[in-house]
Amino acid sequence: MQKTFQFDDDLTVNRLGYGTMQLPGKGVWGPAADPAAAVKVIDTAIDHGVNFIDTADAYGPLFANLYVKEALKQRPDAKVIVATKVGFTRQGPDQWTVVGRPAYLRQQVEENLYTLGLDHIDLLQLHRIDPEVDLADQINVLKDMQREGKIKHIGLSQVSVKQIKAVRKIVPIVSVQNRYNLVDRHDEDVLEYAEKHHIAFIPWFPLATGKLLDNKKLVKLTEKYHASPAQLALAWLLKRSEVILPIPGSANSEHVINNIAAQDIDLTDEDFKSLNKLGK
């Protein structure tokens, strides 16, 4: 199995990444109860080979980025690609508002740079397309910031094939981040499009927010593979397509180590096909 994904000649990542959304704590609005422990989780992920971290200014908000900044500050030699997002704002634990006005997107890119402590963002994803703002205006401001050297690559999140095609007429797209996991395969067409065009497909909720952990079919296979249900769900994603970059979220270092080891699990074709049947 191909363990890495190449964005460009200088930018190759290990496919099994890490997502920061859980770092402040489940349903927490604000900082983590123990910020040093949150930083340690990121550090553990890097120690175990993660070099692709997905984050967003809306996680915390801002706190997840600050933990990434601190973790990277503590190990300046680590070569980590940080993918962040703009365009989805947050007013409370479960209150999300799409805001795609170009002036605000520009401010959010700057805020991401500052909170992550970076001089440029390797992968900037538009978290959501704002249906109330002209698409070209939303994309052109990111394209401008790419020209200015603040953004290296542009990606999209929660989009249809039609939307990806429309955006690609304006600017190259290197990644798409949509909800996708073993039991939620609504966006299979988007994955197929990504595969065809060598666009990274970054499935969010790769573990269905933990709901996959007691899935009967996965639990049944744990003994055979000496693996946890989480690992099997991630191994299925890695086998499903070489453009898939799973970013499981966790605030628990043991879980992070467990998840990373999923890249060493080789599901048989028979088990892969049998698990396929769980998809809707």
Ligand X SMILES: NC(=O)c1ccc[n+]([C@@H]2O[C@H](COP(=O)([O-])OP(=O)(O)OC[C@H]3O[C@@H](n4cnc5c(N)ncnc54)[C@H](OP(=O)(O)O)[C@@H]3O)[C@@H](O)[C@H]2O)c1
Tell me: does residue 99 bind ligand X (CB under 6 A). Answer: no
* For ligand X, the closer CB: 96 or 148: 96
DSSP string, the chain: ---EEEEETTEEEESS-EE-TTTT-TT--SS-SSHHHHHHHHHHHHHTT--EEE--TTTTTTHHHHHHHHHHHH-TT---EEEEEESEEEEETTEEEE---HHHHHHHHHHHHHHHT-SSEEEEEESS--TTS-HHHHHHHHHHHHHTTSEEEEEEES--HHHHHHHHTTS---EEE-B-BTTB-TTHHHHHHHHHTT-EE--BSTTGGGGGGG-HHHHHHHHHHT--HHHHHHHHHHHH-TTB----B-S-HHHHHHHHGGGG----HHHHHHHHTT--
Tell me: does residue 267 bind ligand X (CB under 6 A). Answer: no
* For ligand X, the closer CB: 164 or 208: 208
| CB-based closest residue to ligand X | 249
Return the residue of 22, 84, 115, 175 that touches ligand X, per CB under 6 A.
Answer: 22
The two tokens of residue 268 are 């048989």
- Residues annotated as catalytic are 59
* For ligand X, the closer CB: 146 or 181: 181
Site pattern 214..253 for ligand X (x: CB under 6 A): --------------x-x----------------xxxxxx-
Tell me: does residue 20 bind ligand X (CB under 6 A). Answer: yes
Tell me: does residue 209 bind ligand X (CB under 6 A). Answer: yes
The two tokens of residue 103 are 């002036």
Tell me: does residue 155 bind ligand X (CB under 6 A). Answer: no
Return the residue of 51, 108, 138, 157 that touches ligand X, per CB under 6 A.
Answer: 157
Shortest CB 183 distance to ligand X, Å: 11
Return the residue of 158, 175, 215, 263 that touches ligand X, per CB under 6 A.
Answer: 158
Per CB under 6 A, contacts with ligand X among 112-131 are 127
Tell me: does residue 21 bind ligand X (CB under 6 A). Answer: yes
Per CB under 6 A, contacts with ligand X among 34-73 are 54
Tell me: does residue 206 bind ligand X (CB under 6 A). Answer: yes
CA torsion sign, 28 to 86 to 99 to 210? negative
Residues that bind ligand X (CB under 6 A): 19-22, 54, 127, 157-158, 177, 204-210, 213, 228, 230, 247-252, 255, 258-259
